[in-house]
C-alpha cells in the first residue's frame, strides 16, 4: 500500500457519522467452552432522533451466527466477514442473537481467548466484534448485564456482582460504556483482597487475581492501586464509583494493561512484583501502570472518545495524569528527565520518519497501528503545555468543567479545548494545531546584549511530514530563567509564548550579561537549536536551579564528547571535572545524580547527525558511545567506588523513592566501574545480591563489558521456572550483546526451548531487544533485518497486532547509508509480498515504504 488514501479500507475523520440507534440495555450470556463458546445477546435498540438514518449494521468477525431474532421473531441477516446487516423496525426493537466463537484458536489475543487455561478478553480497540455482533464503536455506550456459565471457580466481568451459584455468575455495570471496555475473565485464580473507603464514605472491595503460586507478588500492585485512588481524590476530586474493583494478571497479553470498567486486565509483567523477582524499574512500572489504568475510570471510561481519531483525548490525558502521580510519588525532576528521554528516543524518531502522524490523525486503515508514542506521550506533552499556559488554577477549573459537562459522553478534542476556553477565557484556536500537525518543532535561539538589555530572538520551524509538507507556527511555551555570572538567579522561571515564526523577547535593566536557562522543565516537546558560548553548559551544570536543565547541561557536555569521538577529536578536558563536582553535590538527590551519569541514547545521536545533514553510521555511533563511557570511567575512577558503596542499602528491600535513588546511583557507578576493574565489583555484587535489582544491575554491568557468562548461566538455572524473570534473561543478553554477536545470539535464542514466540513478552524479550541494540540490529550484513523480517512474517499469521508494532524497528531506514537502505527495502518488500499479510502489518510496511 503506497498511499493510505488509495486503500478502500481507509477510514477518515471527516466521514464521521453517529450510529443511527441508541442502546437502552445489553444482556449477554456466555456459555464458555474452549472450542465453541456460545454468546447469547439481547440488545434493546431505539432510533436516535439526533442522528441521520442509516442501515442497521453490526460489526462481527470470526463468528458463527446460530440464530437471530427481532422482537422474538426469527430473521435472516446478510452476513459478511466484517459484520451483518438486517431490516429492522422503524421504532424501538429488541435484537437477539446466538453466536459461537473459538477462544482456543484465537492467537490474536483480541476478543475472547484462552491464556494457559484462563478465559480473558481484550476488546480495545475493536475486539468486541470477535465476541458477538454489535456496533463496535466508542460512541455507542450502554449499560451491560452479563451472565457467565462455566464450572471454573472464578467468573468475573465488569461492574458489581449480582448473583452467583454453582456454574454461573451474573454481573451488572450501571455505568454506560462502549463495547471496547467490556471485560470477562474466568479461570482457576486466587486473589489478594483488600478494601478502600472513598472520601464520601463508599466502601470498595478490591481484588487482585492471579494464578496459584503468584500470591506473593501481589502486595505492591494492591498498594499502588490504593495510592492511586487516594491521589485521584486529592488531585482531581475524582472518586471511584462501583462497589468492587478487580485486577487480573494475564500472561498472554499484547499490551501493558487495559482499563475495562471495574475489571482491569494486566499483562502479568505490569502487575506482579516481589523483591527477589522484580527490579526497582519494575516496581515503578507497576505503580505507574496501575495508576494509569485506574485514572482511566474517569478519563476514558466515564468520559470516553467519540471515535478513534480522538484516542489521545483519553490516552494523552491519562498519561499526563499518571506522570503527575509518579512525580508526586518519586520526584518530579527525575520523572521529567525520564519523560524527556523516552520522548527523544522514541517519539522524536517517529515524528521525523515515515510513520509520523498528528496527535489526532486524519485517517487510518487499522486503528491498532495508532497506539503510538505520539498519541500517548506527545499527547501528554500537549496537555502539559496547556496547563503551563493557563496555570494551575485555570487547569483545575477546566478539568472540573470537563467532568461536569461531559460525564457519560463520548467527547472530542474540540469538546476538550472548549472547556478550557470557557473556564479561562483563552482563545485556543492556534494551540489546536498541536493536535493536527505532525512533526517535532525546531526552535532556534539567538541572543544579543547591549547596555543592560538582553534579547532573545526565537525562530520556529516544523519539518515536512507525510501528507503535511507545509506547517503553520504553533504556540510553544518556552520556560526561561536567567542567571547572573556568579550563579544567582536574576529572572525566576518565566513562560514565554512563542506564537509566530519569528519572535523577540527583551529583558531590561540587567547589571551584567545573563546566562540563559532555556526550556526549563522541558516545557515543550521541541528540539532547541542554539550555539551556546564555550563554558556555558559547565556553568549551568554547576549553578542552574532547574533540575531538568542541570541534567540537560550534563547531556550537552556528553553530546559534545560523543561528537568529538565521532569526528576523531579530543574530548573537552573540562567535561569530567565539571561532572564530578556535580556528583559530589550532596544537595542533589541520589536519583538526580544517577541521571547525570547517563549518556544520550545512540538513537538520539543518530537523529542529531541526520539533522546536521550527516548520514549516521550505527556502528561508529556505538563505538563513540563506548569510548566516551571508557573516558568517563577513567576520569571518575577515584569517585565511582564511593558512589557505588553509597548504593548498598542495609536491611530488607524497600521500593521507596529514597532507597531506589540510592541504588540507582550506586548501580550507575557500577556500570562505569566495570570498565576499569575487569568486573570485579559487579561479580561480587551478583554473588551477594539479595534482590533482583542488584542482581540484574550486576549482570548487566558484566555483560556490557563482555563478561558474565558464568553469572548468566547461574541466573538461568535459578530462575528457569519464573517466566517473568526469564524474560529478563533473554532481553539482557541480546540488548547488551556486542554488535558483531547480537544477531547470531538472537537467532540462537529463538531456538532455545524456553522461547515461546506466541507469547508477546517473550517475543519482545528477544526480537525487541535486538531492535533496541542499534549497532547489532543494523549490522552491515543485513542479517538483523532478515532475522526480524522472518519472524514478523511468521508472527503476523498468529498475532498481527504484535507483528505490526514490532515492525517499527525499520522506521528509520531512510536516514541510513544506501547499502543498509537497500537491505531494509528488500526485507520490507519481502514482508509486503508475504501471502495472507494482515491489514495491520500491511499498513505499517506500506507507510514505511512510502
Same domain as 587, residue 470:
no
Q: Strand runs (DSSP E) across 48-92, as ranges? A: 57-59, 64-70, 73-74, 78-80, 83-85
Q: Which residue is catalytic, options 149, 287, 293, 552?
A: 293
| CA–CA separation, 29 and 122 (whole Å) | 18
User: Rounded to whole angstroms, how far apart are CA atoms 757 and 252?
Assistant: 11
Q: What is the mean pLDDT of the chain?
A: 97
User: Residue 6 above 70 pLDDT?
Assistant: no
Task: Note whether 724 and 783 are same-domain residues.
Answer: yes
3-state secondary structure of 144: strand
pLDDT band at 8 (very low <50, low <70, confident <90, very high): low
CATH number of the domain encompassing residue 371 = 1.10.390.10
Overall average pLDDT of the 320-337 stretch: 98
Q: Are 102 and 123 in a shared domain?
A: yes
In a domain, 348, yes or no: yes
Can 293 be counted among the known catalytic residues? yes
Mean pLDDT of 292-299: 98
Please report which confidence band the pLDDT of residue 761 belongs to, taking 50, 70 and 90 as the band edges: very high
Q: Is the distance from CB of 699 to CB of 711 less than 8 angstroms?
A: yes
Residue 406 resides in a domain: yes
pLDDT at 3: 34
Tens-digit pLDDT profile for residues 724-735: 999 999 999 999
Mean pLDDT of 153-174: 98
- Do 634 and 773 belong to one domain? yes
Verify that 572 and 472 share a domain, yes or no.
Answer: no
- The predicted model gives 49-61 an average pLDDT of 97
Q: Answer whether residue 498 is part of any domain.
A: yes
Going by C-alpha positions, the residue among 271, 219, 213 that lies closest to residue 247 is: 271
In a domain, 814, yes or no: yes
pLDDT at residue 4 tops 60: no
CATH assignment of the domain containing 265: 2.60.40.1730
On whether both 606 and 710 belong to a single domain, the answer is: no
Paired strand residues for 74: 69
Residue with cell string 531492535: 771
Per the structure, the count of domains in the chain is: 5
- Mark whether 645 and 669 lie in a shared domain: yes
Q: Determine, yes or no, domain membership for 356.
A: yes
Structural domain including 612 reads 532-617
341: cell is 528521554
* 654 is a domain residue: yes
Residue position matching grid coordinates 451466527: 65
Q: Is residue 162 part of a domain?
A: yes
Cell of 815: 536516514
Q: What is the pTM for the complete model shown?
A: 0.98
Residues in the chain: 850
Task: Select from 269, 295, 321 the last residue of a domain.
Answer: 269
Residue 294 lies in a domain: no
Whether the predicted pLDDT of 1 surpasses 80? no
Residue 485 has pLDDT above 50, yes or no: yes
Residue 2 has pLDDT above 80, yes or no: no
195 and 340 assigned to the same domain:
no
Q: What is the DSSP code (8-state) at residue 599?
A: P
pLDDT of residue 176: 98
Q: What is the pLDDT of residue 7?
A: 59
pLDDT digits (tens, 9 = 90+) for 84-117: 999 999 999 999 999 999 999 999 999 999 999 9
- The per-residue pLDDT for range 456-479, each reduced to its tens digit, is 999 999 999 999 999 999 999 999
| Residue in 324, 329, 336 with CA at minimum distance from that of residue 550 | 336
pLDDT tens-digit map of 624-646: 999 999 999 999 999 999 999 99
Note whether 264 and 357 are same-domain residues.
Answer: no
The residue assigned the cell 575512577 is: 637
Residue 11 CA to residue 19 CA, distance in Å, equals 15
C-alpha cell at position 554: 550534563
What is the structure's pLDDT at 9?
A: 83
Residues 83, 110, single domain; the answer is: yes
Cβ distance 338 to 323 under 8 Å?
no
Q: Indicate the residue among 617, 645, 667 that finishes a domain.
A: 617
Q: Residues 185, 325: one domain?
A: no
User: In which band, very low, low, confident or very high, does the pLDDT at 526 lie, cut at 50, 70 and 90?
Assistant: very high
Domain CATH code at residue 741 = 1.25.50.10
Q: Which residues touch 138 (CB under 8 Å, ≥6 apart)?
A: 178, 180, 304, 305, 306, 307, 308, 410
Same domain, 327 and 426: yes
Amino acid at each position: 500500500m503506497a498511499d493510505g488514501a488509495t486503500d478502500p479500507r481507509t477510514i477518515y475523520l471527516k466521514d464521521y457519522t453517529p450510529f443511527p440507534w441508541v442502546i437502552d440495555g445489553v444482556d449477554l450470556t456466555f456459555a464458555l467452552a474452549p472450542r465453541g463458546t456460545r454468546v447469547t445477546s439481547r440488545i434493546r435498540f431505539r432510533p436516535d432522533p439526533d442522528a441521520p438514518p442509516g442501515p442497521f449494521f453490526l460489526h462481527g468477525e470470526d463468528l458463527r451466527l446460530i440464530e437471530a431474532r427481532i422482537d422474538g421473531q426469527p430473521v435472516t441477516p446478510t452476513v459478511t466477514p466484517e459484520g451483518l446487516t438486517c431490516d429492522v423496525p422503524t421504532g424501538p426493537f429488541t435484537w437477539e442473537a446466538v453466536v459461537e466463537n473459538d477462544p482456543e484458536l484465537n492467537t490474536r489475543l483480541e476478543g475472547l481467548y484462552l491464556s494457559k487455561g484462563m478465559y480473558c478478553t481484550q476488546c480495545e480497540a475493536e475486539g468486541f466484534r470477535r465476541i458477538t455482533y454489535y456496533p463496535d464503536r466508542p460512541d455507542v455506550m450502554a449499560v451491560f448485564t452479563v451472565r457467565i456459565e462455566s464450572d471454573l471457580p472464578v467468573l468475573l466481568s465488569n461492574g458489581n456482582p449480582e448473583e452467583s451459584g454453582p456454574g454461573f455468575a451474573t454481573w451488572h455495570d450501571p455505568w454506560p460504556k462502549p463495547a471496547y471496555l467490556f471485560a470477562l475473565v474466568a479461570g482457576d485464580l486466587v486473589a489478594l483482597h483488600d478494601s478502600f473507603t472513598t472520601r464520601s464514605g463508599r466502601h470498595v472491595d478490591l481484588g487482585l487475581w492471579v494464578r496459584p503460586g503468584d500470591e506473593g507478588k501481589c502486595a505492591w500492585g494492591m498498594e499502588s492501586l490504593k495510592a492511586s485512588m487516594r491521589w485521584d481524590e486529592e488531585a482531581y476530586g475524582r472518586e471511584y464509583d462501583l462497589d468492587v474493583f478487580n485486577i487480573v494478571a494475564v500472561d498472554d497479553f499484547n499490551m501493558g494493561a487495559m482499563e475495562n470498567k471495574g475489571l482491569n486486565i494486566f499483562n502479568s509483567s505490569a502487575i506482579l512484583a516481589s523483591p527477589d523477582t522484580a527490579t526497582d524499574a519494575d516496581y515503578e512500572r507497576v505503580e505507574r501502570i496501575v495508576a494509569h489504568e485506574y485514572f482511566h475510570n474517569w478519563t476514558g471510561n466515564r468520559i470516553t472518545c467519540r471515535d478513534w481519531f480522538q484516542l489521545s483525548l483519553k490516552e494523552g490525558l491519562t498519561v499526563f495524569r499518571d506522570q503527575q502521580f509518579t512525580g508526586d510519588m518519586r520526584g518530579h525532576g527525575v520523572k521529567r528527565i525520564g519523560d524527556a528521554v523516552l520522548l527523544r528516543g522514541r517519539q522524536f524518531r517517529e515524528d521525523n520518519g515515515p510513520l509520523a502522524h498528528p496527535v489526532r490523525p486524519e485517517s487510518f486503515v487499522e486503528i491498532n497501528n495508532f497506539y503510538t508514542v505520539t498519541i500517548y506521550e506527545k499527547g501528554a506533552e500537549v496537555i502539559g503545555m496547556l496547563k503551563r499556559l493557563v496555570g494551575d488554577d485555570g487547569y483545575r477549573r477546566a478539568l472540573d468543567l470537563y467532568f461536569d459537562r461531559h460525564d457519560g459522553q463520548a467527547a472530542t478534542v474540540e469538546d476538550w479545548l472548549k472547556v478550557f476556553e470557557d473556564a479561562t477565557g483563552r482563545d485556543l484556536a492556534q494551540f489546536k494545531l498541536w493536535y493536527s500537525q505532525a512533526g517535532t518543532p525546531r526552535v532556534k535561539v539567538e541572543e544579543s546584549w547591549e547596555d543592560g538589555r538582553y534579547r532573545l530572538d526565537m525562530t520556529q520551524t516544523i519539518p515536512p511530514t507525510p501528507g503535511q509538507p507545509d506547517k503553520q507556527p504553533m504556540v510553544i511555551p518556552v520556560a526561561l530563567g536567567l542567571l547572573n555570572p556568579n550563579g544567582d538567579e536574576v529572572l525566576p522561571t518565566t513562560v514565554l509564548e512563542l506564537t509566530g515564526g519569528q519572535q523577540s523577547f527583551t529583558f531590561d535593566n540587567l547589571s551584567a550579561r545573563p546566562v540563559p536557562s532555556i526550556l526549563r522543565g522541558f516545557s515543550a516537546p521541541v528540539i532547541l537549536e542554539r550555539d551556546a558560548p564555550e563554558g556555558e553548559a559547565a556553568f549551568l551544570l554547576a549553578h542552574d536551579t532547574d533540575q531538568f536543565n542541570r541534567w540537560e547541561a550534563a547531556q550537552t557536555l556528553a553530546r559534545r564528547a560523543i561528537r568529538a569521538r565521532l569526528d576523531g577529536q579530543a574530548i573537552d578536558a573540562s567535561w569530567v571535572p565539571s561532572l564530578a563536582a556535580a556528583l559530589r553535590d550532596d544537595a542533589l538527590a541520589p536519583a538526580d545524580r544517577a541521571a547525570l551519569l547517563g549518556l544520550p541514547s545512540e538513537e538520539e545521536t543518530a537523529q542529531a547527525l541526520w539533522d546536521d545533514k550527516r548520514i549516521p553510521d550505527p556502528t561508529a555511533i556505538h563505538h563513540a558511545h563506548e569510548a566516551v563511557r571508557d573516558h568517563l570511567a577513567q576520569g571518575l575512577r577515584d569517585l565511582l567506588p564511593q558512589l557505588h558503596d553509597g548504593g548498598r542499602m542495609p536491611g530488607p528491600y524497600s521500593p521507596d523513592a529514597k532507597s531506589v535513588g540510592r541504588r540507582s546511583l550506586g548501580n550507575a557507578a557500577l556500570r562505569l566501574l566495570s570498565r576499569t576493574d575487569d568486573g570485579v565489583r559487579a561479580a561480587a555484587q551478583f554473588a551477594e545480591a539479595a534482590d533482583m535489582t542488584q542482581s540484574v544491575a550486576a549482570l548487566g554491568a558484566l555483560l556490557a563489558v563482555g563478561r558474565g557468562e558464568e553469572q548468566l548461566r547461574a541466573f538461568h538455572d535459578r530462575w528457569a521456572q519464573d517466566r517473568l524473570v526469564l524474560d529478563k534473561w533473554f532481553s539482557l543478553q541480546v540488548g547488551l550483546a556486542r554488535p558483531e554477536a547480537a544477531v547470531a545470539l538472537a537467532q540462537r535464542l529463538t531456538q532455545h526451548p524456553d522461547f515461546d514466540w506466541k507469547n508477546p513478552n517473550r517475543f519482545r524479550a528477544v526480537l525487541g531487544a535486538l531492535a533496541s541494540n542499534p549497532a547489532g540490529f543494523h549490522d552491515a550484513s543485513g542479517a538483523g533485518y532478515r532475522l526480524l523480517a522472518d519472524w514478523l512474517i511468521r508472527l503476523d499469521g498468529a498475532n498481527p497486532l504484535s507483528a505490526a508494532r514490532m515492525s517499527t524497528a525499520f522506521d528509520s531506514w531512510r536516514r541510513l547509508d544506501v547499502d543498509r537502505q537497500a537491505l531494509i527495502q528488500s526485507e520490507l518488500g519481502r514482508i509486503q509480498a508475504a501471502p495472507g499479510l494482515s491489514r495491520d502489518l500491511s499498513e505499517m510496511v506500506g507507510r514505511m515504504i512510502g
